[in-house]
Chains A and B, each alone.
Chain A
Amino acid sequence: MAAHTQDKAVNTSSLWKHVKKEWKLYSFLVIPVIYFIIFKYAPMLGSIIAFRKYRGGPNIFGSEWVGFTYFEMFMKDPTFWRAFFNDLSLSVSYLLVKFPITLLFALLLNELRRVKLKKFVQTVSYLPHFISMVIVAGMVKEMVSLSGPINYVLSSLGFEKISFISLPEWFPTIYVTSGIWQSLGWGTILYLAAMTGINTALYEAAKIDGANRLRLAMHVTIPGILPTIMVLLILDIGSILGSNFEKILLLYNPLTYETADVISTYVYRMGITGGNFSYATAVGLFEGVIGLILVTIANQVSKKTTKSSLW
């Protein structure tokens, strides 16, 4: 026991010496760490108002404890459950479409031998990623509007025009398609980076063994970028709740709440517009915790099965 304490003392004093020696470098961290405490960790503590009756004002500690009241409230709230399932189904369907398409596009880009063409395709396909969500939403609305090009095609083929933006059954399609448009190119950038890291000797060896381009992609490229694929998949799974908040907020309207309202937009309406801060915080906290649990599970599973993980 005594030895143990002494050990600790030595450790602390050597740590102190270390900090003293490197204090200049550590001093770089002072302001950023304070920033993290105030702007990242304080809001986490601020979630405490989910357990308190908070009615606004700067002091979050001046209100009474209510325990899990707000959690029980939203568990019994049908609007919450609708938002919950919309959140799940929008993200899962987006993920199911986006993941294979992005991977396929990355493989195709990698196969393009003409450097100039490859650069051009890349440049164009990254572009939507840099456009403001306000403009993306505006474009989507113009594209699907009654006088827009999609309805133009429909009507010239002899079909009825459809008011896509106000029909709940169309919202998931609009959400997924516009998401692909926005992220397809950008999503490939990490894959392409990973592909440049693959040892070219592997390709040559496979070629000598008589592999064609398809087989090369299947047996060399894909295994080579598997760690990247897994890491991106884990991240996507972690954000399965919390679909693209800004986009939905800009695209949905009361007519499409039925399929478009997700947890974060519900939190926004409840909290910011409705002023039910505590209730909205409880819902938001629930979303955050589920996300954290999902990331952890996905990470563990990936660690066990493919040996690639985030931490």
Chain B
Amino acid sequence: MILIVFFTLYPFVYLVAQSFSSEAAIYAGKVTFFPVEFTTKTYEVILSKPDFFLYYWNTIVYSVVGTFIAVAATAVMSYPLSKDRLRLNKFFIPFVLFTMYFGGGLIPNYILVAKALGMRDTIWAIVIPGAISAFNVILMKTFFAGIPHELEEAGRVDGLGVFGIFTRIILPLSKPILVTIMLFVMVGMWNNWFGPSLYLQSKDKWPVALYLKQIIDNAVSPTEIGASSDQTSQIAASVKSTAMVLTSLPIICIYPFVQKYFVQGMMIGAVKG
């Protein structure tokens, strides 16, 4: 167990150590666990560059907008599907499920989004195509189905309509699953680089993950990040690890606090399903 914990954490430790080490030490292969010749130069250089904040901001915008759309749409779709008395669900549920096992594939999707719908280079190409996933719908539908029927009856007696029952009774009771789906989508959006690399041409719309990919591919040199020439050699090696640390930092920080919600949500959704 301790071994597993160690091997899981080691790459993170190594990354952080590298980001605080001098370039010479990295190239010499001296960095293994602790930073060698401690320096924060790379952080200073990256954080002093406004571009990095622009990409960060883009990521935040995409994550927030995308998550809002996705959670709202998933909840609205899952609610009627969780009702056994709706006869047309015999058609709608397989309609949703089928998309889990078969899809149009990369190229038709690309043509649809980029050419037929003309969403290229807009935020919509990033936040809309993946908004509802069959898996999330099934998870949420299972949760809704487990809410006691009597609560809805009580709401109806008190004069609530279908929409009122949904927003005043069902949604407040569904926090674990709503938080779970929210997290899944948000993490997905935060980490998304492939969609943006397909659909976003203007660099100023890039999310930080795509920018990071360019850094790792060495397509962005330290000089482009804005280091002066004496700094350039200093940070060439550690710039990758620093950027990686900075990009994953929010997730690593939030993660331990929200972990219990999604474990709960997954378990409830999965056990009954």
Is B232 in contact with chain A by the CB < 8 A criterion? no
B194 near A: Cβ within 8 Å?
A: yes
User: By the criterion CB–CB under 8 Å, are B128 and A39 in contact?
Assistant: yes
A258 interfacial by beta-carbon distance below 8 Å: no
A193 & B270 in contact (Cβ 8 Å cutoff) = yes
Asked if A35 and B194 sit within 8 Å, CB to CB, the answer is no
| B48 interfacial contact with A, CB 8 Å | no
Q: Select which of B1, B15, B86, B111 is within 8 A of A60 by beta carbon.
A: B111
Q: Which of B10, B11, B166 has the most CB of A within 10 A?
A: B11
Q: Which residues of A contact B157 (CB under 8 A)?
A: none
- Whether A24 and B104, one on each chain, are in contact in the complex, defined by CB atoms closer than 8 angstroms, is no
Over the window 81-117 of chain B, the binary record of Cβ atoms lying under 8 Å from chain A Cβ atoms (1 yes, 0 no) is 1010111100010011101011111111111100110
A217 CA / B162 CA spacing, docked (Å): 47
Kindly list chain B residues whose C-beta atoms are within 8 Å of the C-beta of A58: 115-116, 118
Q: Which residues of chain B are near A285, meaning CB under 8 Å?
A: 105
| Stretch of B49-57, B171-179, B222-230, B259-267 with 4 or more beta carbons under 8 angstroms from chain A | B259-267
Tell me, in angstroms, the Cα distance from A61 to B143 when the chains sit together: 42
A268 to B115, CA, bound (A): 17
A223 surroundings in chain B (CB, below 8 A): none
Q: Once the chains are docked, how many angstroms separate the CA of A29 from the CA of B118?
A: 25
Cross-chain contact B191 with A44 (CB below 8 angstroms): no
B77 touches A29 (CB 8 A): yes
Q: Are A35 and B73 in contact (CB under 8 A)?
A: yes
Measured between C-beta atoms, what is the minimum distance from B112 to chain A in Å? 5
Which candidate, B23-31, B37-45, B60-68, is the interface stretch facing chain A?
B23-31
Most buried by B among A39, A137, A284, A285: A39
- Assess whether B106 is in contact with A125, with CB atoms less than 8 Å apart: no
With contacts A18-B87, A58-B116, A134-B213 taken as known, whether A149 is within 8 angstroms of B106 at the C-beta atoms is no
Query: What is the distance, in angstroms, from A245's C-beta to the closest C-beta of chain B?
Result: 8
Give the shortest distance, in Å, between B69 (CB) and chain A (any CB).
10
The residues of A that contact B190 with a CB separation of less than 8 Å are: 132
Known contacts A58-B116, A121-B4, A147-B26; is A291 also within 8 Å of B106 by CB? Answer: no
In the complex, whether B202 has a CB less than 8 A from a CB of chain A is no
Given contacts A29-B80, A190-B270, contact A152 B1 (CB under 8 A): no
Please report which residues of chain A, range 119-154, place their CB below 8 angstroms from some CB of chain B when the two chains form the complex.
Answer: 120-128, 130-135, 137-139, 141-143, 146-149, 151-152
Q: Would A127 and B255 count as touching, CB distance under 8 A? A: yes
Q: Does A158 contact B (CB under 8 A)?
A: no
Main secondary structure of the interface of A (DSSP, over half): helix
Binary contact readout B192-224 vs A (1 if CB under 8 angstroms, 0 otherwise):
011000100000000001101100100000000
Indicate if the CB atoms of A125 and B8 lie closer than 8 Å: yes
Asked if A46 contacts B104 (CB within 8 A), the reply is yes
Cα distance A57–B4 in the bound complex, in angstroms: 51
Contact A40 B99 (CB under 8 A): yes
A13 to chain B, nearest CB (A): 13
Q: Which residues of A contact B271 (CB under 8 A)?
A: 193-194, 196-197
Residue of B103, B194, B270 most packed against chain A (CB within 10 A): B103
* Choice from B9, B18, B209 contacting A134 with Cβ under 8 Å: B209
**Does A202 lie at the interface of the complex (its beta carbon under 8 Å from any beta carbon of B)?**
no
Q: Which of A2-10, A76-84, A91-99, A181-189 contacts B (4 or more CB under 8 A)?
A: A181-189
Contact indicator A128/B8 (Cβ below 8 Å): yes
A175 interfacial by beta-carbon distance below 8 Å: no
Give the CA-CA distance A108 to B270 in the complex, in Å: 21
Report the bound CA distance from A150 to B103 in whole Å: 40
Q: A241 CB to closest chain B CB, in angstroms?
A: 12
Residues on A with beta carbons closer than 8 Å to the beta carbon of B8: 124-125, 127-128, 181, 184-185
A238 within 8 A of B: yes
Question: Knowing A29-B80, A127-B255, A133-B193 touch, does A49 contact B108 (C-beta < 8 A)?
Answer: yes
What are the residues of chain B within 8 A of A137 when measuring CB–CB?
A: 216
Given contacts A36-B132, A47-B104, A60-B116, 5 further A-B contacts (CB under 8 A): A24-B162, A36-B95, A39-B131, A43-B104, A142-B241
Give me the 10 closest cross-chain CB pairs, A-B, nearest first: A43-B104, A46-B108, A284-B105, A132-B191, A32-B77, A147-B29, A43-B108, A193-B267, A24-B162, A40-B99
15 contacts between A and B (CB under 8 A): A43-B112, A46-B109, A47-B104, A49-B108, A112-B1, A128-B8, A130-B191, A137-B216, A139-B12, A139-B244, A193-B266, A193-B270, A272-B107, A287-B105, A292-B102
Interface positions of B (Cβ within 8 A of A): 1, 4-5, 7-12, 14-15, 18, 26-29, 32, 73, 76-77, 79-81, 83, 85-88, 92, 95-97, 99, 101-112, 115-116, 118, 128-129, 131-132, 161-163, 166, 187, 190-191, 193-194, 198, 209-210, 212-213, 216, 240-241, 244, 247-248, 251-252, 255-256, 259, 263, 266-267, 270-271
